[in-house]
Each structure stands twice: as structure tokens, then as C-alpha cells.
Structure 1
Amino acid sequence: MDSESHRPRQVGRGAKVRDAVHAATLAELVEKGYAALTVEGVALRAGVHKTTLYRRWADRESLVADALADLSAMDVPIPDTGSIESDLRELARSLVRMMTAPKGRALLAAMFSGAADVPGVAEARRQVFDDRFSRAEPVVARAVERGELPEGTDPSELLKALAAPVYFRLLVTGDPVDEITAERAALLTLAGARAGALRRR
């Protein structure tokens, strides 16, 4: 095998390079974990020379933080079905789809590894979840207006309750995460919210 076969495949400049590097960073994070992730490995997978990569990202910490920051910009539709029960089902399904997709698995890999202590990565993780919490606010507000949920229901607590069964399966038991998981999470969250357990303190 000649030396040409070891050279990175060139992917272009600007936004294309950034997208390729982000995708490669997330793939390396899922496949190898944060401890084994290297700038060189990301460059090879992305098809760019490592010198090109180093001009934009100083180290693997900045690479991972930048790639994860893009997750907060992922388009997550805000359901408005006219019913809090079906809205919660849609939110739960959206969460399941996200967390079982490559980007979601990369987020989990970063959250529960040495990367979690890197300031830039911690900030990116916070932004992802803050974005998701803000998206739950109109869903709860409409449900309160319709009389489906008690006044003072906390959108962030509702979303945490909705996400808890999903994360428990992903991180603790390893059980399948699917449509049934989403359905049960929605029903449990709805019962707790209607009982007043998710009100603001």
C-alpha cells in the first residue's frame, strides 16, 4: 500500500471543513471515547490535514466543545397538537430520536467521561439542555391556559421528568429505548404534572 492511501481525503474549505470536523469529532467521541480522542484522529477521519485543523482548534477540548455547541442549534420542533398528552408524546419521541442518533450518543459520551470537566464542554452541555428547557415553556404555558395542567407547573421540571426514564435506560440499565419508552415517559410525566408534583418551588 503506497503513502497516498494514508493521506486525508480533502474536503474543501470554510463551512464544509467545519462540518466535516464536527462530524468526525462526534464520531470519534462515540467510537473511542474522550480519553482516546486525538486531534490527529479527527483530522484523518474528517479528511483534513492536522495543521489546517490546528489553525482553528487549539486542542481536543476546543474541538469537542465546538462540536457539542452545534447540538444546541439542532432543530427540535415544538409540538402544538392542542393536547398536553399528545404534546408530551411528541416531545418524548423527539428526545428518544435525538439521544439514540449519533449526535445524541456523542453528547452522552462527553457528559459521562473526562470531557465533562472541561469548561468549554460543560458550557456546551449546559446550552444544549437550556435550549431544550426553553422549548418546553410554550408547551406548558398552553396546557395551563387550556386548564390541562395546574398553575405554576415548571417547564424545566416537566422536561426533566420526561427525560428521566430515557436517560435511565440509556445510562443505567441498557434496556431498549424506543417508542414504548417515549409513551411511558409521557404518561408518567403527565400524571405527575396533573398531580401538582412538578410545580415551581
Structure 2
Amino acid sequence: MTLIGLGSDVVEDAVAREKALDAALAELQQWGVDRFSIQGVALRTGLDPDFLHAQWDGEQQLIIDALSSYSQMMITPPDTGSLHGDLTELALALAGYLNEPVGRRIARMLVIDSKSLVVDSDTRIAFYATRREVIEVIFRRAADRGELRDDVKPIVALQLLTSPLHTFALYRDAPVDPAYCRAVADLVTRAIAAG
């Protein structure tokens, strides 16, 4: 592993990258996407801006990586052995994410039309695609078990599950209730299950 120097300190690349991702998330929370900058991340971390530019193609990629890193930490694809169980656990995990101040702020930040040149629809689409690919494994496993109707499109099923939870989080300050998550998962399971 390559070592980089920060003044008199020496930090491994992986540690520096993790530090940068944490700082980028803090920058996003404080300033949103409109005022996000690599310079701000550099100031928070003490890392050289040149190092950050060498690690990420630009602010857009750093934003996507920071958001993805946080959401992957909070939401992993469940594997309960059943479609209903997986959808229920996924809905509960998403609610946990949205009930955290960081998760709710990220959800709101990504739907607000931004005047920023950094975050445009391509950034939002890239972040969503990254998360979608991770979560679609639930539907592949369900199809392999014969639990999924043949005509179900995983992206539509995922939207059926997550849209009500995101809508709740966007328009209310109250926590997303676990009973609500279970009700949504039940409805989606009935809509997409085979037989």
C-alpha cells in the first residue's frame, strides 16, 4: 500500500480515503450539494487537495462515493430465505436509514432540484443505480426460489417498496414506523409473488 505524507504525519491511502469520505459526508450535511467542494473536504481532513483530486475524478464522484459508502453501511441486502422476509427486512433497514438525521437529509437533498453544477440528474441517477444494483440481488434470489412472478421487473418492485417510505420521509418529520414498513412489504409481496 502506498503511503502519503501530510506534513509530518504519514497516513495510508485507505485510511486517508476513509477520512475523506467521512468529511465529504459531513460537508454534504452542513452545506448540501449546492455548496459542496473538494476544498471544504480538504479543510476538514487536513488532506492535500491534490491527493483528493488524484483519488476522485471530481466533486461529483466524491459525492457519489460518500453517499454510497454511508448507505451501504446502513442498508445491506437481507437474506432471510423468503421474498416476504427480505422485503420486510429491507423496508425496515431503509426506515432505519431514513430515520437517522443523515439519511433523511440525504434523501431530501437528492430530490431537491439543485442549481449546483456539481450535482445534476446524472449524479442522482448514478447514486440510485449503485444502490439499486446492490439491492436487486433480493429479486434474483426470489426468482431462483420460484417466489417471483415471471413478469415482474425488479426495478419496478424496488420502487413499489421504497417509494412510500421515501415519500413519508420527505413530507414528514416523524420517524417511519416499523408497522408501516411491514404493511408496505406485505402489499408489495402480494403484488409480485408467484401464485
Which blocks of at least 5 consecutive residues in structure 1 are unaligned? 1-7, 197-201
Aligned length: 185
Q: Does the Cα contact within 8 Å between 1:165 and 1:181 map onto a contact in 2?
A: no
The answer to whether the aligner puts 1:153 opposite 2:156 as a matched pair is: no
Which blocks of at least 5 consecutive residues in structure 2 are unaligned? 1-6
Spell out the pairing of 1:78-89 with structure 2 (5 A cutoff): 78-81=78-81, 83-89=82-88
Which residue matches 2:25? 26
Identical aligned residues as a percent: 27
Change (3 A) 1:102 1:27: farther
Deviation of 1:79 after TM superposition, in Å, equals 1.9
Query: What CA distance in whole angstroms lies between the structure 1 residues aligned with 2:175 and 2:72?
Result: 27
Q: Which amino acid aligns with 2:175?
A: P
Which residue matches 2:130? 127
Map Cα deviations across residues 102-135 of structure 1 (whole Å, 9 max, x no partner): 7644642245344541645532332222322243
Q: Which amino acid aligns with 1:189?
A: V
Q: Which amino acid aligns with 2:80?
A: D
Query: Which stretch shifts more, 124-133 or 26-35?
Result: 124-133
Query: Which stretch shifts more, 70-79 or 119-128?
Result: 70-79
Query: What CA distance in whole angstroms lies between the structure 1 residues aligned with 2:77 and 2:58?
Result: 33
Change (3 A) 1:179 1:47: farther
Q: Which amino acid aligns with 2:78?
A: I
Deviation of 1:138 after TM superposition, in Å, equals 1.0
The alignment's C-alpha RMSD in Å is 3.5
The answer to whether the aligner puts 1:49 opposite 2:85 as a matched pair is: no
The TM-score with structure 1 as length reference comes to 0.71
Task: Judging by fraction of residues, say which structure has more strand.
Answer: 2
Q: Which amino acid aligns with 1:161?
A: L
Change (3 A) 1:157 1:15: same
